[in-house]
Amino acid sequence: MFSKILIANRGEVAVRVIRACKEMGIQTVAVYSKADKNALHVEMADESYCIGGPLVKDSYLNMDVILTVAKKTNAEAIHPGYGMLSENPEFAGKSKENGIVLISPGEDVMRKMGQKEIARKIAVSAGVPVTPGSEILTGSDDAKKQAERIGYPVILKARAGGGGKGIRVVRKEIDLVSAFEQVKKEAASSFGDDAVFMEKYLENVKHVEVQIIADKKGKVLILGDRDCSVQRKNQKLIEECPAPALSDELRQKMYEAAKNLAVKVGYVTVGTVEFLVKQDQFFFMEMNTRLQVEHSVTEMVCGIDIVEWQIRTAAGVELPFEQKDIISKKHAIECRICAENAKDFKPATGKVELLHVPGGVDVRFDSALYQSFVITPFYDSMLGKLIVCSDTRDGAIRKMKSALSEFVLLGVDNNRDMHMKFMENGRFVIGNYDTGICQKVL
């Protein structure tokens, strides 16, 4: 087992990883930008080092500086969290060259599954269903040709995309060229890779993902599934485990597909396979080769510390439990609390004047917030995740309503009231909702 881990991230996920390390008796090293000098993860870690200016390109994305700190502090491994460098194969390769383990499935898997058009091909070879799509588009004329073949509406995707960036839905040919150029530009600025491909866009679908964990001996286990269909501009807002309104037959087929894909690529540690579900059919969307923001709801249901076992499997520890040992008889819901204006949803900043976190059995708030903390404009607007768990889905909804009513955050505009709207929405309560629900609720 590792004796010291550097956390190459910030905010809620850095705090989450540090907590897991403390429970495992592992020393931690935090890195931070000048804007984060008073951040909670900086105070919690055993050692902390400033690595640059407020912008992520000057700090949290600076591979060489992070690796320098890792070597200086004798860290044996780096946990990348999510976002930032978490799915960057170059970072995995550089870490390995420096004798440091990046807690991930490794450079080869990250490179293959990070290029979405290659991931599609691998999925097909593993017998996983995919939507009609194209190779990397060579230009606007090729985009027109492929769209005519696939049929409108289509969705343009940056092959290196993620976090809702590098995506455009096109419903008419007249809009295709401008959308294609926009996606290429956004992809180049966000990911340094302007390659774009195309898929058939499916309307009124559920976004369901399967949580996997694997060890270096080839054992792959399914820890459950999550519904992530409540989204605004491709950004997830609410997740729940397990996904409602799925038949047992469809669920098992998805589990088998996720496991087959993991085995096909030789996956190790924690990962997620995302699917689009329409009626009794499902289609491969992508594989996330990292810890997901919404891993918390799965932890609440199955009782397994996903971060702990991500670290253990990366260190070569074999999974001591079997598929039959993973029991999922509860239901959990997560609401992402974001700093944003209630009217136009634009990111908000400010100082936390008052913070009250709800409590009770199976109520959890994963966050790096504390009273007097200042929210800056430099980073993602997510402030934390409010998670509840109950024996039934109805019970989880009631518990979430109670927790939201008790949650208080003054000084920074946030989306607590928006989440309450969903908990009281008839379509959400029934559970038979899809990715279009935001348009009807907000």
Catalytic member of 16, 159, 290, 416: 290
Q: Give the span between the Cα atoms of 241 and 272, in whole angstroms.
A: 13
- DSSP element (H, E) containing 94: helix 89-97
The residue to which tokens 């609410």 are assigned: 238
Question: What are residue 390's phi and psi, to 5 degrees?
Answer: -150, 175
* Rama region for 114: left / alpha / beta (φ>0; ψ in -120 to 50; rest): alpha
Q: What gap in Å lies between CA 179 and CA 143, rounded to an integer?
A: 10
Instruction: Name residue 52's beta-bridge partners.
Output: 33
Paired tokens of 263:
């085995």
Mention every residue, 6+ apart, whose C-beta is less than 8 A from residue 49.
29, 30, 31, 32, 69, 73
Side by side, the strands of the sheet bearing 363-367 are 281-288, 269-278, 206-214, 220-232, 235-241, 331-338, 382-390, 363-367
For residue 337 the two structure tokens come to 């609390």
Q: Of 333, 337, 334, which is closest to residue 383 (Cα–Cα)?
A: 337
> CB within 8 A of 145, min separation 6: which ones?
none
Q: Where are the beta strands (DSSP E) in 18-153?
A: 27-33, 47-52, 77-79, 101-102
DSSP 391: S
What is the 3-state composition of the chain as percent helix, strand, coil, each rounded to the nearest 5? 35, 30, 35
Instruction: Give me the torsion for CA of 93, 97, 100, 102, rounded to 10°.
Output: 0
If one counts every other C-beta atom within 10 angstroms of the C-beta of residue 109, the result is 22
Tokens representing 370 are 């504390």
To the query of whether residue 290 is one of the catalytic residues in this protein, the response is yes
Query: What torsion do the CA atoms of 370, 375, 378, 384 make, to the nearest 10 degrees?
Result: 50
Residue carrying structure tokens 């976002």? 83
Count CB-CB contacts under 10 A for residue 124: 12
User: What residue type is assigned to position 251 of the chain?
Assistant: R
d(CA 63, CA 92): 10
Amino acid identity for residue 87 in this structure: E
Could you say which DSSP state residue 100 is in? -
Residues designated catalytic: 290
